[in-house]
Amino acid sequence: MSGTEIHESKKRKRIHGTFACEHPGCDKVFTRIDRLTRHKKNHDPTKRHICEWPGCGRDFVRNDVKEKHYKKHLTNTLNNHDSNYIPANLGVNKSGEESFPMNNSNLLNSIEENIVPAKNNQDVPDSKLSPADLIEWLFHEDTFNGDRLYQSNEYANFPGGYSPVSFTESVLAAPSPQFPFIYDNRKFDDTIREKLIRLIPSLDQNPDFENSKIEKYFQTYWLVYHPQYPILHRPTFSYYKAEPLLLLAIIVLGSSLIKCTGFVEIYSFDNTQKLAEEIAGPLRWLIFSSSDCRPPAKLYIIQSLLLLESFEITSTSRFLHERSFLYHGTKIQLLRRSPILGGDPLNKCNEDNHPRLWEQWIEFESMKRASFMAFYLDTVNAAVYGHTLILYAHQIKLNLPCNEELWEFDNQQSLNESTLRLKNPKFLDTLKRLLNRERIEISAFSKKILLAGLLTIMFQMQQKDLQLSFLEWDSMKEPWKETISLAIDVWRYQMCPKGCCDTQSALSTKPGAEDMLPPMLKKEDSRCKFSLYHIAQISMRISHYDYIIYAGAPSRMNVSVSSSEYKAVSERVIAWAGSVSGGTGVVHAYLFLFEMFLSPSNEDITYRYNPNHDPFLHRKNIIASALLVIFAYNFSTRGPENDIYEVGKSIEYYPEKEDGYSYLQRIRKAFLKEDKLHLSEYEDSYYIHNTIKKYANIVANIPGRNNMVGLLKLFYNSFKNSEWEIGYEYSKLFRNCIERCLGKQSIQCMDMYSNDAF
């Protein structure tokens, strides 16, 4: 039988003929069997579908009939000019407080038909849809026909009705589960080193590619990267069993991050950044050329690509930075075409305590974590660099990762009873609960994933606003921003009860391992650990394109900026700076810099910052974005600090009116006079949200906020020695902003992208 014949034989065919309903007293006859099947539902008294519209309550035996009926209610309301008639279950509060979505799936079936009318401007309803409606619409599965990372039943191949939770429970409940712990005390030896050198021969001549040093790179990976992103299973990791490509990807990150550890041995290394780049350059092509890099891709392929991207996008040359983004979509497509495990994961398990049961679960959970990591990186890259989003929250049909105690479990320790009872809920269900301000308890890794989910909703709504602008339906824009902004503050209140500077909220560490962490990851470090929170609130209000072009970048994503394009950007920035949205955005930029450079409790203590030593890979980029947002806001409204610039003189020649630390302390004092936003004690999410609103209302009236030369010099001096090219480019853009604050008339930083230091 040919492939075409097989395909045709599997098609579901409609059977024609004469088919009578056999229900007593019914004389209906149909010409197709599927219509008879649908008709029989009318005779089933056990399944009734009630219309939830307030005051209606009609019941139906068929859900499709009920939903058609429900649509009539909604259409009448949307066309009703009396704004006082708003049913309660639409999630709208008539007094104007914030609104959140109610669990009404029927609303979703019709919202797409009414959110964007299919005719001309005159057909747009006068009343705006509520933010709750817009958010709820985003989660409606039938609305989206595009690719999903996984189907709604993520483990469709489980036999006997196993769910992911019951699979985990069956593993843990086994009488004596033979956990596949690898107790391997052997050091990284010449045998493994030779395998890696065969892949990249030049490594044999690199003085930093010695066995003892390579072990330090692995130690760095587990100390610095793994607590932030626990996507590898540490208890079963082995030099000897891991694929060489994955070992190389780990070495890339470990050698790049070793500067963050404070290891005394670092002084005996030659140039670990050079080693990381020497491996990263050919590694992507080695991965792509592997026979395992095709659908369905092996787990180690996805993991290697994720680790490599983490380095390329944040810590190396512009060439590798751009290459990472160009091939980011390839990794996503591999995930979309890769089933989790594939087939029956229990087909080799004859007994509950078979060792393969644990191994299957570990591989299963690893692939899930890799998928979430891909989603997270996609979102962060969009927020930090303005890249195009590829994955959206509604496409992720996975349960959240298991708790970290279970993930770090090995056969040398026992799991407590609470861990055995802990469930890992669906990602989308948890995201909806967060939007409804319900209490959520999840792991540190899952906290990052949920924040990324909120950001994807934000970006999706921004895209819809652009579409509405194109169609000149501006009256329907932006009713969603307050809801999403508050939801992000709800996230901060729930996920970071001691503030976004709390280390324990941000890291997944084994009990007792905290003392081994590098200095900037220890709980005593009071600097921000969730910089994505601040850039999320900023990105909602001003685009990366606008603030980097306004600062003087001559091009973005390899496309030059013309004078007319700069003029359009300038007009948008000026309008933004004069709005409430501008005030809120710049307040978040200030709050982030306060957390990074000022002590929360002692005005005499300030922090130095070296971007090369930052263990949080994206934080250095977000610092640069926050500074450029502050420049755009203040320069567009107050102009330069001084008018003393002379061509040819170094910026160090010019005095500043205020040094950077004093400037930040003065702005913070102005905020605290209005209301105190404590770092460790919040009344609730509304307190955070409303306090930031108060700051936004007063920031425009703070005197001398355009005295930014000292602040910009502080960042210029720390970024000019960056070991990653994007950071060095930022330093030149900061220099350009300093010169403009001193009175320079030319706008663009023409040498920003010249790689004179690389």
Same domain, 237 and 326: yes
> Does 478 lie in the same domain as 430?
yes
What mean pLDDT is predicted for residues 72-91? 45
697-708 residue pLDDT tens:
999 999 999 999
The per-residue pLDDT of the chain, averaged, comes to 80
Matching residue, tokens 């007792």: 512
User: Is 516 among the domain residues?
Assistant: no
Contact 422, 507 (CB under 8 A): no
For range 180-194, the mean pLDDT: 78
More confident residue, 431 or 141: 431
Q: Are 328 and 382 in contact (CB under 8 A)?
A: no
Q: How far is CA 438 from CA 80, 491, 638, 649, 685, in A?
A: 32, 10, 43, 58, 12
Alpha carbons 395 and 453: distance in angstroms, whole number: 10
Is 272 a member of any domain? Answer: yes
Domain with 310 in it: 165-495
Task: pLDDT band for 51, please (50, 70, 90 cuts).
Answer: confident
Residue 351 has pLDDT above 60, yes or no: no
Q: Quick one: 577 and 679 in the same domain?
A: yes
Least confident of 81-85, 462-466, 728-732, 739-743: 81-85
Last residue in a domain, options 143, 175, 208: 143
Q: Is 15 a residue whose pLDDT tops 90?
A: no
Last residue of a domain, one of 443, 472, 495: 495
Looking at the fold, whether 231 and 134 belong to one and the same domain comes out as: no
Domain-located, residue 160: no
622 and 736 belong to one structural domain: yes
- Residue 424 forms part of a structural domain: yes
The torsion angle over the Cα atoms of residues 595, 601, 602 and 605, rounded to 10 degrees, is -30
Same domain, 483 and 569: no
Lowest-confidence pick of 39-43, 112-116, 733-737: 112-116
What pLDDT digit, counting tens, does each position of 384-396 carry?
A: 998 889 988 888 8
Domain membership flag for residue 418: yes
Q: How many domains does the chain have?
A: 4
Q: Answer with the residue of higher pLDDT: 162 or 513.
A: 513
Q: What is the pLDDT of residues 612-637, one digit of tens each?
A: 999 999 999 999 999 999 999 999 99
Contact 167, 406 (CB under 8 A): no
- Domain annotation covers residue 664: yes
Q: Is there a domain that residue 518 lies in? A: no
d(CA 610, CA 550): 26
Same domain, 723 and 667: yes
Highest mean pLDDT among 3-7, 177-181, 580-584: 580-584
| Same domain (yes/no): 561, 541 | yes
Count of beta carbons in the 10 Å neighbourhood of residue 127: 16
**Beta carbons of 368 and 398 less than 8 angstroms apart:** yes
Q: What pLDDT does 571 receive?
A: 97
Predicted pLDDT of residue 86: 36
Q: State whether 347 and 294 are in the same domain.
A: yes
- Indicate if 442 and 340 belong to the same structural domain: yes
Domain-located, residue 152: no
pLDDT at 479: 66
Q: Is the dihedral of CA 727, 730, 732, 738 positive or negative?
A: negative
Q: Kindly report the pTM of this predicted structure.
A: 0.79
- Is residue 410 very low, low, confident or very high in pLDDT (cuts 50, 70, 90)? confident
pLDDT(265) > 70: yes
Same-domain status, 54 and 36: no
| Model confidence at 31: pLDDT above 60 | yes
Which string of DSSP letters, residue by residue, matches 222-288? Answer: IIIITTT---S-GGG--TTTS-HHHHHHHHHHHHHHGGGS--GGGGG-S-HHHHHHHHHHHHHHHHH
The mean pLDDT of 331-335, rounded to a whole number, is 89
Res. 590 pLDDT band, cuts 50 70 90: very high
In 316-421, alpha helices (H): 318-326, 328-336, 355-385, 404-407, 417-421
Instruction: Check whether 54 has a pLDDT greater than 80.
Output: no
- Rounded Cα–Cα distance for residues 553 and 733 (Å): 7
Residue 476's pLDDT is 53
Same domain, 350 and 231: yes
